[in-house]
């Protein structure tokens, strides 16, 4: 049974280090132990492979990840968590592409906490420091994280990361479509998700919500958004949303939907104030954004 230093609830003194200090702290033994921990979630055995083939692929994958961690340490792109002076965990960051508007895209990578330090409240400190470092380097950079670990996912969501697709990540990395399909099918264990945090889009979303709040204070809108379940019912019946659907005794209700809300519905059709029938799909909403439709943007009669 693996010994856990903090199984009785004790809390260590945690220190986060980076740069030359982190490089000095990470010896070969630490790196290999941290990567061995990562391998439990990273490695996927090929279907139909022999035991010898699996062992060879496991060894190749292990050494490749060890090399990447060493490279991050050498280049100063890693943070190390010390618990009572001992290496307990790491997180790295890397610029790996650009969005169409030219903004840089970074990825938080190689998040690993040694098993014997779990329970010592080490996580999410290395990942948080890696994210803060990226924010200091480029406040407008898009940041992604690729994980299957529930704690890492929950931390990412708390930092306003939102689910996106492997295709999105692959396109940023410059992968060809065939490579992306192969990557998803053969190289990723089940349960992996990609999450994105775009500070510019988040700022735009917050501005939309602020304007909604002002409209409510001015009594131009009711106090509530249109109920998502009610919207779903109308969509399920095959009807476009009309302005009259937004009526409520407390005042007209705006439509506010996330990408995930709309993904559950499929497609939203609504009658625009001009009479045109408009169509919005989940992919039209950025993962970090919300769709806001004000009542005065909708009409009741579809133009022939």
d(CA 278, CA 189): 39
Q: In the Cβ-directed half-sphere of 46, how many Cα atoms lie within 13 Å?
A: 15
3-state secondary structure of 211: helix
Domains within the chain, CATH numbers bracketed: 14-197 (3.40.630.30), 219-297 (no CATH)
Name the pLDDT band for 72 (thresholds 50, 70, 90): very high
**Nearest 5°: CA angle at 270, between 267 and 273?**
155
* pTM, full prediction: 0.84
Give the pLDDT confidence score for residue 120 in this predicted structure.
Answer: 74
Q: What is the mean pLDDT of residues 227-233?
A: 93
Flag whether pLDDT at 3 surpasses 60.
no
Going by their DSSP bridges, the two strands 78-83 and 162-164 should be labelled as unpaired
Give the pLDDT confidence score for residue 199 in this predicted structure.
Answer: 96
Q: Is 219 left (phi over 0), alpha (psi -120 to 50) or beta?
A: left
Q: Cis bond leading into 85, ω under 30°?
A: no
Considering only the C-alpha atoms of the chain, give the largest distance between any 2 of them, rounded to a whole number of Å. Answer: 73
pLDDT tens digits for 113-163? 998 888 778 999 999 999 999 999 999 999 999 888 889 999 999 999 999
Give the pLDDT confidence score for residue 1 in this predicted structure.
Answer: 36
d(CA 1, CA 273): 67
């Amino acid at each position: 049974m693996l010994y856990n230093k903090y199984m009785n609830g004790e809390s260590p003194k945690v220190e986060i280090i980076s740069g030359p200090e982190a490089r000095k702290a990470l010896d070969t033994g630490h790196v290999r132990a941290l990567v061995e921990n990562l391998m439990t979630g990273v490695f996927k055995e090929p279907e139909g492979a022999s035991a010898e083939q699996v062992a060879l692929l496991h060894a190749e994958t292990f050494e490749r990840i060890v090399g990447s961690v060493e490279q991050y340490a050498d280049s100063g792109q890693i943070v190390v968590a010390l618990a009572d002076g001992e290496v307990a965990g790491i997180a790295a960051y890397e610029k790996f592409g650009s969005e169409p508007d030219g903004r840089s895209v970074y990825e938080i990578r190689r998040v690993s906490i040694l098993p014997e330090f779990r329970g010592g409240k080490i996580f999410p400190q290395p990942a948080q420091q890696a994210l803060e470092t990226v924010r200091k380097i480029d406040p407008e950079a898009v940041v992604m994280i690729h994980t299957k670990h529930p704690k890492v996912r929950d931390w990412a969501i708390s930092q306003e990361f939102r689910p996106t697709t492997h295709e999105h990540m692959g396109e940023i990395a410059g992968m060809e479509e065939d490579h992306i399909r192969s990557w998803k099918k053969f190289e990723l264990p089940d349960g992996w998700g990609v999450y994105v945090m775009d500070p510019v889009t988040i700022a735009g979303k917050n501005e939309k919500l602020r304007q909604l709040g002002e409209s409510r204070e001015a009594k131009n809108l009711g106090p509530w958004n249109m109920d998502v379940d009610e919207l779903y019912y109308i969509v399920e019946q095959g009807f476009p949303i009309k302005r009259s659907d937004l009526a409520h005794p407390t005042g007209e209700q705006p439509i506010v939907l996330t990408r995930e809300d709309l993904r559950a519905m499929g497609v939203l059709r609504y009658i625009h104030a001009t009479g045109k029938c408009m169509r919005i799909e989940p992919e039209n909403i950025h993962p970090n954004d919300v769709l806001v439709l004000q009542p005065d943007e909708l009409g009741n009669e579809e133009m022939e």
